[in-house]
Chain A
Amino acid sequence: MKFPSCEDVEACASAKLLRSMAAKKLRRAQLSQELCERLSRCQITTCQDFLCLSLLELMKVTGQSYYEVQKLLCKVSRACAPKMQTAYEMKLRKSVSPSSAFLSTTLHSLDRVLHGGVPCGSLTEITSPPGCGKTQFCIMLSVLATLPLSMGGLDGAVIYIDTESAFSAERLIEIAGNRFPTYFDSDEKVFCMTRSIHLYRELTCCSVLQRIMSLEEEIISKKVKLIIIDSVASVVRKEFDTKLQGNLAERSNFLTRGASVLKYLAEEFSIPVILTNQITTSLSNGPEIQADLVSPADDLSLSEGASVSGKKDSGCVTAALGNTWSHSVNTRLILQYHDLPKRQLLVAKSPVSPFSAFFYTIEKSGLVLQDGKDQTNLIWEGTNPALQPIRVRNTALKDTLLSATLPSTTGETSSNTSDL
């Protein structure tokens, strides 16, 4: 397999900036024709080129006086600067169409804590060890997005970028049929729903980035209301080995670029974007090392050491992709193991919610929250979302061996073989 070079990734990504305001030609910034011609002789054609020069350089290339150049600077800035809106106007706009401000997950306690559900217009990340339910959650949300507004959905199409080939259409139909049996009573409705979920299989960083950048037109033509990328971590970790020099910076570069394109899409169309992430072991006195998920044995041994001793120097299992990526996502949900079959959902980072934890199980109808008296949904024990420790499977393994009956966890065993 050919690994894309750094230049390929750069080339893909730099094409995006050219479509933004910065690439606006100076002609359209209402500068005089003569001035534009003079500037283009010095290779200055876009607003970006103009604003990156210092005042003295500008004076030289335009041949104008200091005060004139300042006025020109203001003119060009006005052409690029964003429009102002007051917070009041933003609130009014939201209250006009309240249902489109979030995608309800139908997990009531979670929706309550998140003030409605997965927020539109920002990036939400779901991190978990393998087999905990990320893909299940994504499939469930895909179904929800296609539902009509009256049922809490977004009445739109879904773009599902699958990098692990973990998506199972049969599971999709199973979840839909079991969660909303009254709605999906006819084949017609089921086909309608499946037709609006568009699946793309991308296997390299470069192709993922290219796909993301081509989404703008697809979103408009297909009336997409949800973007899911499952998972970002798998492509990135295949190609960037952070032990090699320079790769950490390259990886950060790729991730921040991807994040800014996705944020642009999320805000422009007011839709939620969901990304999934994997786990890694971070040793507190050394640089992060990647848990090698290709061989489960290694994974177990690493996390074994981590969970048994809670001491600082043995490190802990946290979300992968580093600190910069934790800054880029707006909301982070962590799924982790508890006593099987119960698992735990943590709201680790959210601008509207404190750190919260819920128990859930995976059923035929997708994720189901356990509402109970032992539900402590407001715990002030969260820590840095980039370093929040995550419980992995083997700690619970001995419990499953003891308990004789395993409830039906059909979803995760049959279709998510590639989670290992």
Chain B
Amino acid sequence: MQREVGSLPLAPALRARLAAAGFQTAQELLETGPCGLSKEIGISKEEALEALQVVRQECHGDAARTAGGSGATRKFTALELLEEEQAQGFIITFCSALDNILGGGVQLTKITEVCGAPGVGKTQLCMQLAVDVQIPECFGGVAGEAVFIDTEGSFMVDRVVDIAAACVQHCQLIAEAQQEEDHLKALETFSLESILSHIYYFRCRDYIELLAQVYLLPEFLSEHSRVRLVVIDGIAFPFRHDFEDLSLRTRLLNGLAQQLIMVANDHKAAVVLTNQMTTRIGQSQSTLVPALGESWGHAATVRVIFHWDNSQRLATLYKSPSQKEATIPYHITVSIAFGVESQRGEHSGSCKGTFRHRDKSENDVCLFVGLPSEGNQ
């Protein structure tokens, strides 16, 4: 297949010169050689050599692609995809009802968007996931690390400490109950300090910092290859002011979505975004819809909306390629650790959390595991 000169990723000025000199295909360029090229178009020998190297790389890339090897576009059969999907892990949320409607939990290599009214629990969920992604494989987790990009400033370290402590405690209980060796071994490295040290936190103050950070994500994830979760808490906030030019905003958001899809696929990570709700004024009524407009709805693969019904919190699966739309109720439990020791022995009775392994009949919709306190009973 002959590649046209105009489609090669060379500098525009160079391309223009090549076109003016009459070159049409990449093959011609390669045949000419660097010295000939430099004489014909009037560039230095070094520049000609660089250009030829780029062309050669492109042609090799093309050849590899047509042969079915790895490259920017990959080819799979559906069977290979099925095997990959089945082997993939999920990041559990500790709420079995929510995990069920998501099909097992938050999926890797997909973008999940969580929309919700203020105060409904989006940041809580993100903090929970940042801890849950680190659960060792023998307990049913994916043993990964987490990147947390915060644009709203709602990340509370103390809350993460509470959640992490509760998670470690649960794993310890399971290990005690089942007494398997790999459980105990995994627990040696699964401690509060290690969980906190593997949450990489970035605070982005405006949309430029957010864009910059997302451009740098591929590099960061290559260096930290164990990252399996990227959370962007508040994708809407930096884009909701300072934008007179809405088409620029749409373009930037689309670019952002593309980058995130690439990151999710290349590094087998789950990307979780949180979005705000905004009021859309209709003719006679106003409804709450996810912010950032209709076109943003295409960016995420899975969309979950958290909302209130009087005093009950509900989660609705709004968009998913594989699961049915469903709504479930949930609670956020709280650990009131201020001056209370946790009581290990009575833990299983009074704890309001739930694991897949032990299904509680009541309260099986509780979301975040908390340490029990005297106030709760």
Interfacial residues, chain A to chain B (CB-CB below 8 A): 10, 13-14, 17, 20-22, 47-48, 51-52, 54, 59-60, 63-68, 73-74, 76-88, 90-91, 94, 112, 115, 119, 121-122, 248, 252-253, 256-257, 260, 263-264, 266-267, 285-288, 322-324, 326-328, 330, 332, 348-349, 351-354, 377-378, 380-387
**A77, B281: Cβ atoms under 8 Å?**
no
CA distance A47 to B276 in the complex (A): 27
**A91, B157: Cβ atoms under 8 Å?**
yes
Chain A: minimal CB distance from B34 (Å): 16
**B211, A59: Cβ atoms under 8 Å?**
no
Contacts of B215 in A (CB 8 A): 51, 73-74, 77
**B117, A330: Cβ atoms under 8 Å?**
no
Chain A: minimal CB distance from B227 (Å): 12
**B205, A248: Cβ atoms under 8 Å?**
no
CA distance A348 to B308 in the complex (A): 13
Contact of A60 among B12, B120, B157, B281 (CB under 8 A): B12
Contact of A112 among B119, B200, B277, B338 (CB under 8 A): B338
Contacts of A288 in B (CB 8 A): 286
Contacts of A54 in B (CB 8 A): 251, 255
**Could you show 13 A-B contacts with beta carbons less than 8 Å apart?**
A52-B208, A60-B12, A78-B216, A80-B208, A84-B202, A86-B199, A87-B196, A90-B157, A91-B157, A328-B152, A351-B154, A354-B334, A387-B308
- Tell me which of A22, A68, A288 has the highest count of chain B C-beta atoms within 10 A of its own C-beta: A22
**A122, B154: Cβ atoms under 8 Å?**
yes
Is there a chain A Cβ closer than 8 Å to B68's Cβ?
A: no
A-facing residues in B271-314 (Cβ within 8 Å)? 276-279, 281, 284-286, 288, 307-308, 310-311
**B119, A384: Cβ atoms under 8 Å?**
yes
CA distance A119 to B157 in the complex (A): 12
**B157, A74: Cβ atoms under 8 Å?**
no
CA distance A336 to B56 in the complex (A): 73
**B119, A66: Cβ atoms under 8 Å?**
no
CA distance A81 to B206 in the complex (A): 10
**A322, B12: Cβ atoms under 8 Å?**
no
A-facing residues in B95-125 (Cβ within 8 Å)? 117-120, 123-124
Q: Select the stretch in B75-83, B158-166, B172-180 that faces chain A.
A: B158-166
**B276, A324: Cβ atoms under 8 Å?**
yes
Contact of A81 among B11, B118, B209, B284 (CB under 8 A): B209
**B120, A87: Cβ atoms under 8 Å?**
no
Chain A: minimal CB distance from B90 (Å): 22
**A77, B216: Cβ atoms under 8 Å?**
yes
Chain A: minimal CB distance from B69 (Å): 20
CA distance A252 to B239 in the complex (A): 12
Contacts of B307 in A (CB 8 A): 384
Q: Select the stretch in B135-143, B240-248, B319-327 that faces chain A.
A: B240-248
**B286, A378: Cβ atoms under 8 Å?**
no
Interfacial residues, chain B to chain A (CB-CB below 8 A): 9-14, 54, 117-120, 123-124, 130, 148, 152-154, 156-161, 193, 195-206, 208-209, 211-213, 215-216, 219-220, 237-238, 240-242, 244, 248, 251-252, 255, 276-279, 281, 284-286, 288, 307-308, 310-311, 331-332, 334, 338, 375-376
Contacts of A256 in B (CB 8 A): 237, 240-241
Chain A: minimal CB distance from B124 (Å): 7
**B288, A330: Cβ atoms under 8 Å?**
no
**B288, A323: Cβ atoms under 8 Å?**
yes
**A323, B117: Cβ atoms under 8 Å?**
yes
CA distance A94 to B241 in the complex (A): 31
CA distance A197 to B213 in the complex (A): 39
> Contacts A77-B213, A87-B160, A351-B123: A330 and B240 contacting too (C-beta < 8 A)?
no
* Minimum CB distance partner of A68 in chain B: B11
Nearest first, the 3 closest Cβ-Cβ pairs linking A and B are A66-B9, A22-B208, A88-B196
Contacts of A78 in B (CB 8 A): 212, 216
Contacts of A67 in B (CB 8 A): 9, 54
**A349, B11: Cβ atoms under 8 Å?**
no
Contacts of A59 in B (CB 8 A): 11-12
**B201, A90: Cβ atoms under 8 Å?**
yes
Chain B: minimal CB distance from A321 (Å): 12
Contacts of A87 in B (CB 8 A): 130, 148, 157, 160, 195-197, 199, 201
Contacts of B211 in A (CB 8 A): 51-52, 77
Contacts of B240 in A (CB 8 A): 252-253, 256, 324
Chain B: minimal CB distance from A112 (Å): 6
* Minimum CB distance partner of A101 in chain B: B158
> Contacts A252-B240, A353-B334: A91 and B196 contacting too (C-beta < 8 A)?
yes
> Contacts A287-B286, A323-B118, A353-B334: A81 and B281 contacting too (C-beta < 8 A)?
no
CA distance A68 to B205 in the complex (A): 28
12 more contacts with CB within 8 A, not counting A63-B13, A82-B209, A330-B153, are A14-B242, A22-B209, A51-B208, A51-B212, A74-B216, A81-B216, A82-B204, A90-B201, A91-B196, A386-B117, A386-B118, A387-B308
* Minimum CB distance partner of A322 in chain B: B279
* Minimum CB distance partner of B201 in chain A: A85
CA distance A13 to B241 in the complex (A): 10
Contacts of B201 in A (CB 8 A): 84-87, 90
Chain B: minimal CB distance from A88 (Å): 4
* Minimum CB distance partner of A258 in chain B: B241
Contacts of A17 in B (CB 8 A): 206, 242
Contacts of B338 in A (CB 8 A): 112, 115
**A267, B216: Cβ atoms under 8 Å?**
no
